[in-house]
Amino acid sequence: MDPRRSFRILATALLGTAGLLVSGCTDGGSAASVPPPGASSAASAPAVPAALASYYGQRLKWRDCGVEGFQCATMKAPLDYAKPDGGDIGLAVSRKAATGPGERIGSLLVNPGGPGGSAVEYLQSYAGIGYPEQVRARYDMVAVDPRGVARSEPVVCLTGAQMDRYTQVDQTPDDAAEVTALNNAYQQFAQGCEKRSGEILPHVSTVDTARDMDILRAVLGDEELRYVGASYGTFLGATYAELFPARVGRLVLDGAMDPSLDAVELNRDQTAGFETAFQAFAADCVKNADCPLGTTSTADAATRMKRLFADLDARPVATGDPRRLTESLATTGVIAAMYDESAWPQLREAVAAAQNGDGSGLLALSDSYYEREPNGSYANLMFANAAVNCLDQPPAFADAKAATRAAPNFEKASPVFGESFTWAALNCADWPVPATGTPHRIKAEGAAPIVVVGTTRDPATPYKWARSLAGQLSSGTLLTYQGDGHTAYGRGSDCIDTAINVYLLEGTPPARDKKCS
């Protein structure tokens, strides 16, 4: 596989929604769509509503995808679940049949996170060929691009040229003019989404997508949902469990989010998570004679990284591309490398080059994060990311004054990234569609055992979130990976992989509070 594409898939799949000029992690969902406390819930497995019967009863027309071993189809779902007879939305589905040997268990749905990551691309490029052989032997591996994402009627907001300009806007404004420029960028982004995708914008919430997943479960012929979700995919899986607890089969929520936190708390916690990851990178870097951030201490490394950002803010450097490396692009590039420790050597080289006037390495990391192609086009990852985040929760900050007041707390959480993350959290302030979700604890009473996985130095989904979600879920079991990087399954820990494989194949969750390294 093309190494550049491999890194892009990793960054996309494990995004966790820490986009710089995009909002931070989402957790919301449509509160109006979730049964209120005391109301009857899906635990009693009610019959499918008559208005949705045609969707649940549809038959998919499978065809060859053009990717060896995979089939594709289009599933229909109501655009608006409140008005299911008001029109359809087409959702791209892909599968790879169980390879055997052994009795087929059913379908295993996978989602890589985002929101905005293409589950179909993740399946065809990684999960369908890279998941453990014994899992692929007994499961049909399945993915659906969530509504508004990739092949499923994607949200579109800006042209490639407009997106280039957007990603270069100064995200650490030094004066009123730069604050105005950043506000204008967010407004233009939101207006572009409304202009190009206004019909779908009110209908891309996490709750809508969780309901789509239940239709897919039924269409695939499964009585229960079996699912592995990473990062934002954990919130999607938890939301499914809240809506349909009696239909929960085996759910793995890897790199978990905390649905009880509001947008400010989520963004601030994630800021601290990236600081933790940077400290781990810095501690590794200073052991190397070629470390561009010095060889003395992590504190000195942080100071030098901040100095590089400040230098680029004042004087962007050449990249061999018409775009110069700005502070914003450099910060994105550094953050991209925080998702996986295997990218640290690449980051060291890129930082050293930038210090010497060559920004190409950090620009390449940034482009991978944003899913920018060499021809200047962008995937819709960041468009869908904002559309879901801004619908799932009220904005973190209503205006620039609120962001300014919060900045000291964010900078305390991360001296390296705090200022950038503060202003990134302003992006939903002028969103054209009101938020439909609110933060709340998810219990999913009556659900079968659910495995929640947390990594102790995860940058995008801090470990405390996994502990919290496992404690909220009535049947949650916490599995801990003591290490670096975002998510844990399939990342090289035999202990983690074995525990999850046993659960997926036999239905037996790991021992309570099991820890792996």
- Write the CB contacts of 331 (distance below 8 Å, at least 6 apart in sequence): 20, 171, 309, 417, 420
Residues of the chain falling short of pLDDT 50:
1-43
- Rounded CA gap, 403 and 263, in Å? 12
- Residues serving a catalytic function are 231, 458, 486
Residue at token pair 């420029």: 181
CB-based burial label for 257 (10 Å; 0-12, 13-18, 19+) = buried
Can you state the angle between helices 381-392 and 176-197, rounded to 10 degrees? 100
What pLDDT does 173 receive?
97
For residue range 186-211, list pLDDT tens digits in order. Answer: 999 999 999 999 999 999 999 999 99
CB-based burial label for 263 (10 Å; 0-12, 13-18, 19+) = buried
For residue range 27-57, list pLDDT tens digits in order. Answer: 333 333 333 323 333 345 568 999 999 999 9
Q: Which CATH architecture has domain 60-155+206-262+443-516?
A: 3-Layer(aba) Sandwich (3.40)
What pLDDT does 47 receive?
80
Q: State the pTM of this model.
A: 0.92
Helix (H, G, I), strand (E, B) or coil at 68: coil
What pLDDT does 27 receive?
35
- For the chain, the structural domain boundaries read 60-155+206-262+443-516, 160-200+265-424
